Amino acid sequence: MFIVDCGWPADDDADDMYADIGKQQQQRRPNGKLLQNPRDVLGTINWARVDFILISNYEQMRLLPYITEYTEFSGPVYATEPTKVYGKCVLEEALYVAQGALRDDTAGSSTRMLAQRGLLYSSRDIVAAMEKITDVRHNEMISPVPFVQVYTRSSGYCIGAGNWTVEYKGHRTAFISTSTFVSCLHPQEWDISILREAQALVFCDAVDPAPSSVGSSEIGDEGAWQSAHVSQLLNQLCSTAISTLKQRGRVLLVGEPYGVTQDIVQLVSENIVALNLPQPQFVFVSPIAEHTLQYGNIMGEWLCESKHALLYLPEYPFSDKELRKKGHLHFVSSLADLATKNLPQGNWFVVVPPSDTETLNHFVRQWQQDAQRCSSADMASGTGMAKFSVLIHDDDTARAQRLVNRLSVGPEITYVPVARRFTFHSIEQCLAAAERAHHVLVPSHVYARLETKAGRYEFRMFEFSHLQATTVDLDTDRHLPLDIQSEMTRRVREGGKQHALVEGKLSLSAGRIRLECLDEDAAPGEPAAEAAKSKTEIGSRYNLATTGSANTPSLTQRDLARWTPEKLADELNGVGLKASVVSAAAGSRAVRVVVPGGSATIHLDNEWLVDCSSSSAHWTVMTSLRQVLKAA
């Protein structure tokens, strides 16, 4: 059992999500999904059974310090060297922002609540977690546990990013994390060999673009901005910035101090020199910007071929060293730190992370006031600052729209979504190159668009949602667990034959493979197909008083009155589940169980009923419940 990636979405829109702090548990995200606490989600996993963790890129480490320091996980963690060093920077920045929100006297209660939720670890926990990471290189074969081999191939997304392949007894499963086909950016290019080697593909991440109404450079049709080459989009952002700087204006780039931001700063700086224009003052407002830019220069072997070749001249792949040498590059950790610095006047090119809304609002508000006070005489004399531009390049259009709504800048915003992550179009191209694949798992929003085309491929395609268990029909060439082999042996002996046919569903849930036979729990006179349908139906209500089997007597044969919710919850907790008594109306007795992939409510009134939120929750809860009742 292993974990691929430990990411968690950054909650950068606190005011939208927490309209009423008293109803925090009932709040939902703007996209309609329930807002969950990461501690609650991590609490549903039996970390003592997790053998190892694989990290794909530095954006997928948000929960790692909590896992390594506050759970029972004790296995190895694997990541590339850039993923480790950049991931530490990302964790430190998140911690800095959360602690700053708690210290800020002017912060609202919703922002403080969100910051408190984000404090999963301390700076000491970050250092301890980094020490437990084993560095690996692309194509390096490692064996975290016996009979299992693991290696990573470049995903093209960012410096050091990779896609993991796990091989067990000759069967390879590839996990395609955040990836891109783009070849004009600075990270090492996408390695397509991962698609040709694996029998099973799992696409862990894909953006779901929607038509956008953001800014003056609207690209509303998804196909249009997907077909546009990323280099053209970067040139468009660069042209807007240079046009503003030509008119003695100022530019605000909303982006993290790594990734595509490095390419945009490089393009602007080079074009300013080529056009013989005055070099602006590049100001990064971030506590980690200085380190991340330096890492880009010293990790040249992880860069694309064109920048990697510069190392042999030798030259620095990025322009930040030259800018720093000439005094045009400045770093400030926060808005408060900026007020204490004496920076040169003139044209500014400011880079601010999207999570730092306080700094973004400050610059927009200040520059709008400067533009209103600027007279024609000031502009003629070259001392006025009337023009400014805000550049946004996030390829998540919904997130970009929420940011624009908070800034309220108007036509000064130029939004060009630089499409770096996979969309369903990119995944469709990957499927055409999957030569050996038998099974493919894709996110639900991707499956909805590819469902009509799934019949063109020879493999089976399934959909999944994160934090939910997925049921997959496996081929017979898979190695079956001992409990399933025992079932097949029993069938052989009963029939007195050399072989036996076992019909049913193989389910992957909570790290286990289970076999649900069609006729195992069928009530007398109930067709086997109907029994199987009731077992796999999502959100079904299961009556335990009428569904006994040969191995488990029905509950009508037991003394139900002696069972209390408190006693049942203790027994279920004793077998490894997370059970609690439901606080309900007088006379109602119920126990709630939370398991990986869903939850269930056991009603103890008269006849016992079990309400399950998913089929995987049903299998896990029913198995444990029968175990408890059999031992009683």
232, 348: one domain: yes
* CA-derived radius of gyration, the chain: 28
What's the distance, CA 430 to chain centroid? 20
Q: Is residue 215 part of a domain?
A: no
Task: Report how far residue 517's alpha carbon sits from residue 619's, in angstroms, rounded to the nearest whole number.
Answer: 12
Residue 314: its pLDDT value, please?
A: 75
Task: Report how far residue 298's alpha carbon sits from residue 326's, in angstroms, rounded to the nearest whole number.
Answer: 20
Total domains in the fold of the chain: 4
Q: What is the pLDDT of residues 355-409, one digit of tens each?
A: 888 888 889 888 888 877 775 555 554 555 668 889 998 887 777 888 888 776 6
Q: Please, what are the averages of pLDDT over each run of 10 residues along the chain (632 residues)?
A: 87 39 40 64 86 95 93 95 94 85 59 60 92 95 94 94 93 93 90 92 81 41 50 90 89 92 92 91 92 86 87 80 89 87 86 88 86 62 68 82 76 81 87 88 87 78 75 52 66 69 65 59 42 37 46 47 83 84 71 81 78 72 79 70
Q: Is residue 127 part of a domain?
A: yes
Q: Is residue 554 part of a domain?
A: yes
By CB atoms closer than 10 A (0-12, 13-18, 19+), residue 60 is: buried
Residue 433: its pLDDT value, please?
A: 86
pTM comes to 0.70
Pair of tokens at residue 55: 């990290």
HEC secondary structure over 199-261? CEEEECCCCCCCCCCCCCCCCCCHHHHHHCCHHHHHHHHHHHHHHHHHCCCEEEEECCCCCHH
From 136, 155, 186, give the residue that closes a domain: 136
Task: Report how far residue 263's alpha carbon sits from residue 180's, in angstroms, rounded to the nearest whole number.
Answer: 16
Inter-residue contact 394 to 400 (CB < 8 Å): yes
Bridge-based pairing of strands 133-136 and 77-80 is: parallel
Q: Is residue 523 part of a domain?
A: yes
By CB atoms closer than 10 A (0-12, 13-18, 19+), residue 131 is: exposed
425, 402: one domain: no
117, 202: one domain: no
452, 539: one domain: no
Contact partners, residue 444, CB within 8 Å, separation at least 6? 463, 464, 465
Beta strands in 60-147 (DSSP E): 77-80, 133-136
198, 233: one domain: no
Residue 218: its pLDDT value, please?
A: 40
114, 171: one domain: no
Residue 589: its pLDDT value, please?
A: 81
49, 156: one domain: no
447, 319: one domain: no
From 121, 136, 151, give the residue that closes a domain: 136
Beta strands in 52-108 (DSSP E): 52-54, 77-80
Q: Is residue 214 part of a domain?
A: no
104, 190: one domain: no
Bridge-based pairing of strands 578-581 and 590-595 is: antiparallel
60, 164: one domain: no
Residue 548: its pLDDT value, please?
A: 44
Q: Which of 290, 289, 270 is nearest to 279 (CA)?
A: 270
From 415, 430, 455, give the residue that closes a domain: 415
Residue 577: its pLDDT value, please?
A: 83
Q: Is residue 583 part of a domain?
A: yes
The CATH number of whichever domain residue 237 belongs to comes to 3.40.50.10890
- Count of beta carbons in the 10 Å neighbourhood of residue 79: 28
Task: Report how far residue 501's alpha carbon sits from residue 491's, in angstroms, rounded to the nearest whole number.
Answer: 8
Task: Report how far residue 337's alpha carbon sits from residue 327's, in angstroms, rounded to the nearest whole number.
Answer: 18
Q: What is the DSSP string of 26-53?
A: G-B-TTSPBP--HHHHHTTS-GGG--EE
402, 458: one domain: no
Q: Is residue 477 part of a domain?
A: no
- Give the residue numbers spanning the domain of 147: 137-206+421-467
147, 64: one domain: no
Q: Is residue 451 part of a domain?
A: yes
The CATH number of whichever domain residue 146 belongs to comes to 3.60.15.10
